[in-house]
Amino acid sequence: MAQRQKKSSRKPRKPEWLIPFFAVFFLLMVGANFADGYSYAWLFGSNTADNTFETPELTVDVDESNDGSTYGTWTPQNIAWGSTVDKYARFTNSGDASVVIRASYAQYWTLTEGTDVTRLNNYYDTGSGWANVATPDWNAGGFADTSLWTDGGDGWFYYRAVLAPGQSTPDVLEGVAFTTPAPAGYQDAEYSLAFAVEACQVSANNPNENQQAVWLNFTKTYTAGGGTLTWSNSAP
């Protein structure tokens, strides 16, 4: 009878290199956190700030009146041929900053017949020449007053002072005179006298900066002396 061979009861050995590997890994972890006796934490955060810069409001109004005392708007009136209709006009700085201004005007007639609209100029043929149908009654402080206004030769009149917030120019207009009798074709036409005004801010910075800004906007510049502005076509 054949002798049975004994089965070995020896267990397989684990690789010997695993023990030192785990030991080193553990030591590295411990060393990273406790080698100098401290533990560390890194905190991250964020914040935002919204910085708003407001520019001053620049508003200059064509300030009109029927009587020269109450300003705001002008109530349209019927044309009185052969007489003068009261119409006062000035320019008011209703904004937040001091400004320099320039102003202009235009006058024309509109004839409406059904759906047809015709623009008529302000001149008519008297038979011996041309004359105004309507003539603005400019105030003494109007555009012809060279101590207050400079004719820029470009359709604009330049005010010769800085206009502070709340300030107004003197009246430039007091009324409009109409010829008589009514010229042919104008009896049923509507007259318009339109003003425009533009402004450029004046700051407390270097005066040359103001002149540069005005030049960029008006293609004019000025020099200041004694509270009066002298306008010119030369670049600053």
Tell me the pLDDT tens digit for each residue of 61-88.
Answer: 999 999 899 998 778 888 889 999 999 9
Q: Write the DSSP symbol of residue 209.
A: H
120: containing domain: 60-204
Tokens found for residue 69: 């005392």
Percent residues over pLDDT 70 in the chain: 77
Look up tokens 């919204």; give the residue.
Answer: 50
In a domain, 196, yes or no: yes
In a domain, 54, yes or no: no
Residue 11, pLDDT > 70, answer no
Measured distance CA(7)–CA(75) in Å, rounded: 125
Phi, psi values for residue 3, rounded to 5°: -80, 130
What is residue 174's predicted lDDT score, i.e. its pLDDT?
95
What is residue 29's predicted lDDT score, i.e. its pLDDT?
47
Residue 106, pLDDT > 90, answer yes
Tokens found for residue 201: 């801010």
Measured distance CA(101)–CA(139) in Å, rounded: 18
In a domain, 6, yes or no: no
In a domain, 71, yes or no: yes
Tokens found for residue 186: 């104008």
In a domain, 45, yes or no: no
DSSP-based three-state secondary structure for 171: coil
Is 191:107 a contact under the CB 8 Å cutoff? Answer: yes
Q: Write the DSSP symbol of residue 104.
A: E
Q: Write the DSSP symbol of residue 58.
A: -
Nearest to 79 by CA among 122, 126, 140: 122
Q: What is the mean pLDDT of residues 205-227?
A: 88
In a domain, 52, yes or no: no
Q: What is the mean pLDDT of residues 119-132?
A: 94
Helix (H) or strand (E) holding 212: helix 207-218
Strand segments (E) across 24-169: 60-65, 71-72, 84-93, 99-113, 116-120, 123-125, 130-132, 134-138, 149-151, 157-159
Cα–Cα distance list, 130 to 59, 81, 123, 183 (Å): 39, 18, 6, 11
In a domain, 211, yes or no: no
Reduced DSSP (H G I as helix, E B as strand, rest coil) percent helix, strand, coil of the chain, to 5: 10, 35, 50
Q: How many domains does the chain have?
A: 1
What is residue 76's predicted lDDT score, i.e. its pLDDT?
81
In a domain, 42, yes or no: no
